[in-house]
Amino acid sequence: MHTDAIAFAAYGAPDVLEPAATDVPDPGPGQVRIRVHATTVNPLDLKLRSGAMAAFMPLDLPHVPGLELAGTVEAAGPGVRALAPGAAVFGAASHTYAGLALADARRLAPIPQGMDRHHAAALPVAAEA
C-alpha cells in the first residue's frame, strides 16, 4: 500500500521536489503513524534539499523531507498507551511531506483546544530553538 508524498531524487533548488508514492509506514515500538494534515518548510528542510548539509547529514535519495507536523493518529505501535487512534496531535517527525508519517510518540502532544492544525504544525522546531 502506498501514500502520496513530495520527494526529491537529487539535491538542488525547489524544482527538484516532485510528487512521489511511498510505502505506508508501520509503527514500531513507541511509534505512531500520523495522517498528516499540516507540515512546514523550515531552514533545515531547505539546507537538506539544497545539499548544503550533505557532508554532515547525507540523505538516502530519493528523500521525503519534512520535520514537523500536525495530524491525526492512525495507528500506534507496541508500548504506546497515551496516544490512541483518532487523537489530534502535533510534534516532531520525519518525512512529513507525505500523507502518512511515523513519529516517536514521546515527541508528540495533543493539539491545544482552539488551535488550528497549521499553527500547531509550526510549533515543534520553533519551540526547540
CB 38, CB 70: distance < 8 Å? yes
> Is residue 49 assigned to a domain?
yes
Q: Is the pLDDT of residue 126 over 90?
A: no
Nearest by Cα to 48 from 87, 5, 7: 7
> Is residue 43 assigned to a domain?
yes
Q: Give the residue ranges of DSSP H helices in 24-122.
A: 43-50, 117-121
The pLDDT of 82-96, averaged and rounded, is 94
> Is residue 15 assigned to a domain?
no
Q: What is the pLDDT of residue 62?
A: 97
pLDDT in tens, 29-69: 999 999 999 999 988 999 999 999 999 999 999 999 999 99
129 pLDDT tier (thresholds 50, 70, 90): low
* Residue 60: CATH number of its domain: 3.90.180.10
- Bridge partner residues of 7 (DSSP): 18
- Specify the number of domains making up the chain: 1
Q: What is the pLDDT of residue 98?
A: 97
Range of the structural domain that residue 67 is part of: 28-128
3-state secondary structure of 95: coil
What is the end-to-end Cα distance of the chain in Å, rounded?
A: 36
- Please give the biggest Cα pair distance in the chain: 42
Q: What is the pLDDT of residue 105?
A: 96
pTM of the predicted structure, to 2 decimals: 0.91
